Amino acid sequence: MKNNVIQMSQHSAYSQDKIDEQALHWLMELDRGDMSEFRKLELVSWINLSDKHKQSLLAHAKLWDELDVLSELADIIPYQAQNTVKKPKYYLYAASVVMVVLMAAFISYFSFMQQPHMQPANQIAFKQSYQTEKGEIKQIKLPDGSLLTLNTDSRVTAQFDLNYRNIELEHGELHIKVAHNSEKPLNILVDDKMIQAVGTAFNVQYLAKDDIQLIVSEGKVMLAQNKLLNDKVNFAKLDKPLNQTLLVQAGQKLAIDDAHSINSLKALVEDISANLEVNLSWLSGSLTFSGEPMAEAIAQVNRYLKHPIQLADEVKSIRVIGRFEQGKLDSFLNDLQRNFEVRLSQNSAGEIFLSKK
C-alpha cells in the first residue's frame, strides 16, 4: 500500500469501533514486516493506554491467524499461538461488515501517532539520556533518524511525544543533523531558550548560565523562549516569524544571553560562513585557534582534560594561532613553549602551570 495518511472518522478515540480500526491498522503494518524500533515503541504506548487496546489487537490477530504477525506481536505482548492451520486473510474481511467498508474506503494505512486527538497530549513515545565523560566524543543515531554528536563532558535528555521531538541540553555541547519531519519539529531546550528545527544541522554550546552559543551549519532554525512549547508552535508552518522569535540561518553564529530580549539578539548575529569549519573543528577531533586570547584558548582545551591547565596573569592575553588535537596534549604544550615564549611547569599531582619565560 502507498504510505499516505488518511483522516479517520471523528467519533471518540476511545470507542470500541475506533480501537478496532486502530488495531486493524497496526496488524497491517506488522504484516509488512518492516516496522522500525521507534514504531514498535509507539505501538507499545498505544497498547498501554487501556486493556481494550491490548484485547482488540489480540482478538484481531487470532481472527486473522496470520502467523508472521503473531510472531512479531510476541515480541511486544505475550501471546501463545494455537496450533491451527493458517487461514486465508480474506477471513478477516468477512468477520465484520464494518471492517469490509473500512478496508474498501482506506487506500493507505493510518498513522494514529500523528493525530493529537487519539492519545493524551503528554503521551511519551521515547525518552533517553546520553552523556560523555571528559575527553570523550560520542555520536548517537536517534530513533527518528537524526544524528546527534555530543562533545566532551556533555549531557542531554531526548524525549519524543505526539507533538515534538525535544532534546534538553543540560550541560556541554552538541551538534545535531535533524531528520526532516514537518509534522513534528525538533527542539533543543537549553536554559529557558528553545531552538526549533524541522530538517537542518546546527551546533549548541552551553557551558554556564548565560553562556549559550548557537552555530547553524545547514538550513535555518528559530530561537524562542521555550514557554512557547505550551502553545504548540510549529515555526515551520508560520508564514512569518513571531515577534518573540529570531531566525538564524546557515553560516551564522549567535551568542545568547539573558541581558538581551530575543528580538534584540538579532543585532548580535555573526556571519561566520567563511570560517564555519574552524568553528566546528571539534567534530573532526581538534580545536582550531585563530587569534583568540590564550585564556579563551586554554579554557576550551581544559574541557578535555582531567587536570586543567593553570595560567599566570601575564600570559592570559597572548593571542594564540594553532591547533589542539584531542589526545595530543604534549604536542600542543610543546608548541606553546616554542612559539609563544611561555614556560611550563608541572607538580606531582599532574597539574600544569603556564607562565611567561
Q: What is the DSSP string of 182-237?
A: TTS-EEEEETTEEEEESS-EEEEEEEETTEEEEEEEESEEEEEEGGGGGGT--GGG
**Looking at the predicted structure, is the pLDDT value of residue 313 above 80?**
yes
Average pLDDT over residues 34-49: 78
pLDDT band at 28 (very low <50, low <70, confident <90, very high): confident
**Confidence grade of residue 78 (pLDDT, cut at 50, 70, 90):** low
pLDDT at 131: 97
Determine the Cα–Cα distance for residues 167 and 272; give it in Å rounded to an integer. Answer: 25
pLDDT in tens, 161-198: 888 899 999 999 999 999 999 889 999 999 989 999 98
- Return the higher-pLDDT residue of 78 and 212: 212
Our measurement of the distance from residue 1's CA atom to the centroid of its chain's CA atoms, rounded to an integer in Å, reads: 30
pLDDT at 68: 55
Here the cell at position 181 is: 519531519
Q: How confident is the model at residue 114 (pLDDT cuts 50, 70, 90)?
A: very low
Predicted pLDDT at 183: 86
Residue type (1 letter), 243: N
Mean pLDDT of 19-36: 77
Residues linked to residue 59 through DSSP beta bridges, in sequence order: none
Over the stretch 249-274, which tens digit does the pLDDT of each residue have? Answer: 999 999 998 878 888 898 999 999 99
Strand partners, 127: 159
Total length of the chain:
357
How large is the average pLDDT for residues 6-25?
A: 61
Report whether pLDDT(120) > 60: no
pLDDT(83) > 50: no
* Cα gap 97→106, rounded to integer Å: 15
10-19, 139-148, 336-345: the lowest-pLDDT one = 10-19
Q: Is the pLDDT of residue 8 over 50?
A: no
- 128 versus 35: the higher-pLDDT residue is 128
Q: What is the pLDDT of residue 129?
A: 97
How far, in Å, CA of 66 to CA of 200, rounded?
41
Q: Which 3 state secondary structure label does DSSP give 11?
A: coil
Higher pLDDT, 227 or 254: 254
pLDDT at 73: 65
- Give the pLDDT of residue 108: 36
pLDDT for res 76: 64
| Percent with pLDDT over 90 in the chain | 43
Neighbours of 253 (CB within 10 A): 19
Q: Cα separation of 351 and 334, whole Å?
A: 16
pLDDT at site 185: 92
Coil, helix or strand at residue 325: strand
pLDDT (0 to 100) of residue 123: 61
Biggest alpha carbon–alpha carbon distance for the chain: 91
| pLDDT higher than 70, residue 119 | no
With beta carbons less than 8 A apart as the criterion, state whether 229 and 164 touch: yes
Q: So what's the pLDDT on residue 86? A: 44
As given in the structure block, the three cell numbers for residue 205 are 554550546
In this predicted structure, what is the pLDDT of residue 239? 67
Domains of the chain: 16-118 (no CATH), 130-274 (2.60.120.1440), 285-356 (3.55.50.30)
Q: What CA–CA distance (Å, rounded) separates 207 from 257? A: 12
Q: What is the pLDDT of residue 63?
A: 66
